[in-house]
Structure 1
Amino acid sequence: MSENPVQTPPSRRPLRRDPPGARRPVRQRLSVAQLKPPTLTPPQKKALGWTGAVLIAVAVGIAILIAIWDWNWFREPLERAASARLNRQVTISGDLNADVWSWQPTATVNRIAIANPAWAGQGTLGTIDRLRVRVRLVPLLWGKADIRVLAVERPNFKLLADAKGRRNWDFSDGRKKTPMNLPPIQHFLIDEGRLSYLDAQRDVRFEGTIDAREQLGSATRGFQLHGRGTINGAPFRAEVVGGPLLNIERDKPYPFNAEIRAGRTLVTAKGAVPKPFDLARFYMDATARGPDLAELFPLTGLALPNTPPYSVRGRVVREALMWRVDGFGGRIGDSDIAGKISVDTAGARPFLRADLTSRSLDFDDLGSVFGGAPKAGPGETASAEQAVAGRKMAARQRMFPDTPLDMTRIRAMDADVTFKALSIRDTPIKLSSAEARVRLEDGLLRARPLRLDLPHGRVEGFVTLDARKAEARTELDLRLSNSRIETIIPLQFQGSPPVTGPLVGRARLVGSGNSVHAAFAGADGAVTVVATGGEIRKALAELLGVNVIKGLGLLNKQDMTPIRCGVANFDTRNGVMHANSIVLDTGPVVVRGKGVVNLGTERIDLTFRGQDKRFRLVRVLLPITAKGPIMAPKVGVQPGSAVAQGGAALALGTLLTPLAAILPFVDPGLAKNADCAALVAEARADGAPVRSVAAKPLTGKR
């Protein structure tokens, strides 16, 4: 027997019961006639036919109009739009053509000319014989440009920068703008391009050719720029080669190589543009070598210091208006150099920031920075010109270089540079290390703080160069502290220093001129050195008093005598240092000095006279002289009448009258804590006219 459930016939299914008060929807049945489309009446059919005919006629008319349209109608609107965009008059004297019946429409513009700005005179910035552009239509409808082909035929551009720094290719409204960022270009072609460049400020002239083809000869190559010219009268050659400009992918780096020769300067680079045609960002591994870093100014616009021959390297990275040099290192002269550099070009002037270190600095390499020359002997690095300049300075026995410094370059940039030398060699005095922070702002250069470390003691202070006017003004204020006489004057006498003891000092000078020599030749200020104690060989002390017989008798003895106080003070006016107070008080002898040091002629004329503190039966009292060039003075004895004995205490006291004013100039606590203070007190007790006065201020122009 079947167990299938019994199916209830439809007629017997229970009826759906609606809740009380509910209204059931009324179902409407459509007839067959109602399901048929409405029948158009003859007038309606006639109107629809006319509408279709009109639309077809309009479409055909548009097609015919486009086919026969004179695209030159758009010439003037296009000129106005381009002129407004470039802030420069743009004219189109050739035909305009377009092919719009394609998913990749093409437009061609013939004979384009871009005018110079008013300050550049008559003529054109550049001309293009023909410009052809093909784009994809669909991205263009959404406001995005996808360029399939950009072909430029026979472009000829003449770039000009005048002495004021104005550039005829600057289309901005005076504000800094990021570099060009073009849309993607699949095929970029430049045929028979010409480029000339004239920079009056940097003295650069360049004539070059530009080509960018898919086929150059038998090999597939890409962008090429070749040119020759001059920089400061020296031959200049540039070559830039890029990868094939065919099927470039937006997210695939575009490689390039560059080589620039300017005189004896060689710059090479190998890099890439991460996003092709985005010229605001790229990187390159670069090397540079040449006779002088300052010769890179025409290429970089940076006022780099004069240096001996150099060879440096680093990775140059550009990010919009910021440039960086990562991994910078190499050699300058006989010194190593390393650190990091950045240049911000967003402001009115480039701003250079650098943190540099030298593990081993050859001191004579610094001479080039101030217009001098490094040594030119065996094992030394110097250019041919620097070697000649060094020989001339040596022949003239000059210490201060007279090569004019180019102040226009100093005004052309701003900078904040920190430099450290961990060790220094080949120094005129013993220096162990150095550190300086150099800031340059609107023509005002300040080296502050400036520190030079000695084995004993240190020199620290600041140097300022104000190049904001036609004639530069230099100010220096340097203090010598906690030093030793034997460190500054490294003499040896019978195997040991003849003079030892603590030494302090200060130099404060202000001068004007566009060379180091000119600044010192007209300097005002003061220079003071104080020995606050120590010892001197008795033999040397006796000879300073020109007690010849006694001094010669002590030459083989090692006994020492104390230095109670030694002071040398020079009041400087118009480049001449007048020795107002030179005093050396030792056990047996008091030495006094006078004379001048002429910083303009770089010659000295000093006389030293000693007085015994005790009566000597046999003696010769003659002045000792030091005359001649500062670099090589000659020491001798000046014949003259004998000096009477006696009165040493009174003479010393008279000489020390201004000492209370001199010592605070070097160190405010010196007059109280040094043996010189006791000497002043002793002279006062002996009846000498010694007064305590305030420190004499610097009278140079501030």
Structure 2
Amino acid sequence: MERVNTVDSPAPSPAARRWRWQRPGKRGQRWLALLLFLFAALLLLIALWDWNWFKGPVERAVQAKTGRALHINGDLDVDLGRTTTIRADRITFANADWAKTPQMASADRVEIALRVWPLLRGQVHIPEVRLTRPDLLLETGPGKDTPGNWDFLGPSTGNPPQLQRLRIDDGRLQFLDAAGRTDVLVALNSGKPRNEDSAPPLLVKGKGRWKGNAFSLDGNTESPLELTNSDHPFRIHLDGRAGGTHAIASGTLTNPFALRVFNLQLMLSGQDMEDLFPLIGVAMPSTPPYRLNGRLKRDNDIWRYEDFTGTAGDSDLGGTAQIDVGGARPFLKADLVSKRLDFDDLAGFIGAPPRTGAGETANAEQKAKAAALAARARILPDTPYNLTKLRAMDADVRWKAQRINSPALPLDDMDAHLKLDAGLLRLDPLNFGVAGGDIRSTIRMDARKNTISTQLKASLRNIQLGKLMPDSKLAEQASGGVSGDVDLAGSGNSVAAMLGSSDGNVAVGIGRGHVGNLIMELAGLDVAESLKFLFTGDKQIPLRCAFGDFGVDNGVMTSRALAFDTSDTLIVGSGTVDLRQEQLDLLLRPRPKDISILALRSPLRIGGSFKDPSFRPDFKALGLRGAIAVTLATITPPAALLATLETGPGKDTNCGGRYAK
């Protein structure tokens, strides 16, 4: 055998080796051809595949997950790629089995863009969802323990899908709450996005009824998907009306799902703050028309309306209010300030309307109520308090007024602190500066039972008599400090019922001062002396003291001591004031300390009603002296003067009492 010398054989070049490695053999060529054929067949299959074959499996899978029937009544199509697009036409989704309307949602077309590679890591990335003519019905359950029809997925598990953009073309959303008398229909459309990658804003416009009130909504917001994006503020502008209440929310929210920063300006106005209770569950007293503007913030369950300013009726109102909705009842805490408070704007706290005359602010309902009240024979408010409102929330409200406008009373300022806890209301304190002095009071109303029980304690200190009626010419002739105490307890669901059933004590007194002689002569009906003062001027008479002490039993005030003592005249009185019937029955007996000619002095009877009191002399007491005067006049006219001589039997009273200081 011949040996082959391989040492001298040249080695293959690197290029030849690479070619030999890359060049497929016949077997490799067959595999490559097979792969190319399968790929071409797959492309052809995809091009010709009818994706509607998957409609049945998809519908069954959704029903198994949600318990609701899903129907794809049109075509199902898929565009494969790194981002795969799934389209489905004429979609319907069933409602809850308790609902009267069988269909909860529908859409002419649903398009879902889905990234494929994140699916391998168990993540769902959805760049965009586009809905064409979607129609969604959201409604609350028929019972307290029945969830709304939107609760069908159960507790979520795993990573939630990440949705980047939501586009809505000609959408419709209806919210229905039969028990809450709410039915709102809103049109939804996506606006133009700020840039290609951002979610488009949402344009909203709707109307219907909210809590039984006509409701409308108009405005725009960023896409709801942007609520989770903390990189830029969430813009919002919504204009809503419900009945007479109007709210405009405009501004930005920063990551509101984190419940930290709200930068939202809220303008709120309406005909009556009482209308807010059925809308948002916050119980407020009746007020004249109002307008407020402030900044809304939220921290978990606490909503704050900060640094708001505005008006309520003819009063300005400002401060900060917050509502905590995390407890069994909403809790309102507020610090309010009024630089100028119109006193009649507080009338709603006692169930009365504000003044409705020229220059006064009131809504149409309050004007009608004021007209009806003016036509009544009584003046104490008999509008019942709403027990549901008193029990629906808790409150801690402080309100200070720097200046008070009150034509009827010379009020200076106010300091009120209201606390409400499960139907127990306390005003402690409720203080007013009055005519150089003050009225300090506390009120306790227990509305935890069907009939409200009320306690009132008030003290009057150093109220200046001459300032009580600053527009009265007679009052300018008087001075002296008025003090007193009121301690009443009653039951009833209105102010009239509470006072009409009250028991307790009322005592008031005037310390040393002076009064005009004209006042005293008019009070004593001394005709000659009164005419003289009217035409020639008045003189001041020192006031020693005045006091009235009444016991109150079942709404009837009965005098225990009643006197007005000056150096000129002593007036003593007796009688009753019926708070239930609003009737007066007081008898004042003047006892002059001087001798007066033509003194038709007789007891003065104060009667009539609170609304229409009467002041008249008691002619029965004049009868004897009048008869004597007529008889003497038949003899000689000057002799008739003898019958009207007043010898002045009045004596000084003991002014060492509590209030005679």
So what's the TM-score if we normalise by structure 2? 0.73
Contact 1:125–1:169 at 8 Å: present in 2 too?
no
Task: Summarize deviations over 1:584-604 as a string: whole Å, max 9, x none.
Answer: 233343323233333344343
Report what 1:419 is aligned to: 399
1:192 Cα offset (Å): 5.2
Q: How does 1:22-41 map to 2 (within 5 A)?
A: none
Task: Summarize deviations over 1:276-304 as a string: whole Å, max 9, x none.
Answer: 87788654222222221222334332222
1:420 Cα offset (Å): 0.9
Q: Please list every run of 5 or more consecutive structure 1 residues that lacks an aligned counterpart in the other structure.
A: 1-55, 83-88, 173-180, 657-669, 677-702
Report what 2:457 is aligned to: 477
Return the match for 2:514 from 524, 535, 544.
Answer: 535
Partner-residue secondary structure (3-state), 2:557? strand
Decide whether aligned partners of structure 1 residues 254 and 329 sit closer, same or farther in structure 2, where only a CA change above 3 A counts.
Answer: same
Report what 1:242 is aligned to: 221
Q: In the aligned structure 2, how far is the partner of 1:350 from the partner of 1:108?
A: 46
Task: Summarize deviations over 1:382-427 as a string: whole Å, max 9, x none.
Answer: 2222223223323436533334443323332222211111111134
Task: Summarize deviations over 1:216-272 as a string: whole Å, max 9, x none.
Answer: xxxx96323322223576532112322468999652223222111233433222233
1:563 and 2:567 aligned: no
Return the match for 1:168 from 129, 148, 167.
Answer: 148
Contact 1:512–1:519 at 8 Å: present in 2 too?
yes
Partner-residue secondary structure (3-state), 1:432? strand
1:149 and 2:101 aligned: no
Task: Summarize deviations over 1:410-448 as a string: whole Å, max 9, x none.
Answer: 332222211111111134211111111112222222221
Q: In the aligned structure 1, how far is the partner of 2:319 from the partner of 2:521?
A: 54
Q: How does 1:89-168 map to 2 (within 5 A)?
A: 90=68, 92=70, 103-104=82-83, 111-115=92-96, 126-128=104-106, 133-136=112-115, 146-151=125-130, 154-160=134-140, 168=148
Contact 1:582–1:594 at 8 Å: present in 2 too?
yes
Q: Please list every run of 5 or more consecutive structure 2 residues that lacks an aligned counterpart in the other structure.
A: 1-34, 153-158, 194-198, 626-645
Contact 1:214–1:244 at 8 Å: present in 2 too?
no
Q: In the aligned structure 1, how far is the partner of 2:260 from the partner of 2:68?
A: 26
1:272 and 2:252 aligned: yes
Q: In the aligned structure 2, how far is the partner of 1:606 from the partner of 1:164?
A: 59
Q: How does 1:490-509 map to 2 (within 5 A)?
A: 490=470, 492-493=472-473, 497-509=476-488
AA partner of residue 167 (structure 2): L
Task: Summarize deviations over 1:488-535 as a string: whole Å, max 9, x none.
Answer: 3547557x6333212112223334444333433443333221224333
Root mean square deviation of aligned Cα = 4.7
Moved more, 298-307 or 273-282: 273-282
AA partner of residue 363 (structure 1): F
Contact 2:309–2:318 at 8 Å: present in 1 too?
yes
Q: How does 1:136-535 map to 2 (within 5 A)?
A: 136=115, 146-151=125-130, 154-160=134-140, 168=148, 185-190=163-168, 193-199=171-177, 203-212=181-190, 222-231=201-210, 234-243=213-222, 251-275=231-255, 282-396=262-376, 398-490=378-470, 492-493=472-473, 497-535=476-514
Report what 2:12 is aligned to: none
AA partner of residue 390 (structure 1): A
Report what 1:25 is aligned to: none
Contact 1:191–1:213 at 8 Å: present in 2 too?
no
Q: In the aligned structure 1, how far is the partner of 2:356 from the partner of 2:582?
A: 22
1:631 Cα offset (Å): 4.1
Q: In the aligned structure 1, how far is the partner of 2:427 from the partner of 2:407?
A: 20
Moved more, 642-651 or 532-541: 642-651
Contact 2:603–2:621 at 8 Å: present in 1 too?
no
Q: In the aligned structure 1, how far is the partner of 2:448 from the partner of 2:148?
A: 27
Among all aligned residue pairs of Structure 1 and Structure 2, give the percentage whose two residues are the same amino acid: 29
Decide whether aligned partners of structure 1 residues 93 and 280 sit closer, same or farther in structure 2, where only a CA change above 3 A counts.
Answer: farther
Contact 1:294–1:307 at 8 Å: present in 2 too?
yes
Q: In the aligned structure 1, how far is the partner of 2:266 from the partner of 2:137?
A: 28
1:328 Cα offset (Å): 0.6
Q: Size of the alignment, in residue pairs?
A: 582
1:623 Cα offset (Å): 1.7
Partner-residue secondary structure (3-state), 2:476? coil
Contact 1:437–1:448 at 8 Å: present in 2 too?
yes
Contact 2:401–2:414 at 8 Å: present in 1 too?
yes
Contact 1:182–1:277 at 8 Å: present in 2 too?
no
AA partner of residue 469 (structure 1): K
Decide whether aligned partners of structure 1 residues 544 and 481 sit closer, same or farther in structure 2, where only a CA change above 3 A counts.
Answer: same
Partner-residue secondary structure (3-state), 2:409? coil
Contact 1:104–1:135 at 8 Å: present in 2 too?
yes
Moved more, 515-524 or 127-136: 127-136
Q: In the aligned structure 2, how far is the partner of 1:273 from the partner of 1:182?
A: 23
Contact 2:542–2:566 at 8 Å: present in 1 too?
yes
1:169 Cα offset (Å): 6.3
Q: In the aligned structure 2, how far is the partner of 1:102 from the partner of 1:394?
A: 80
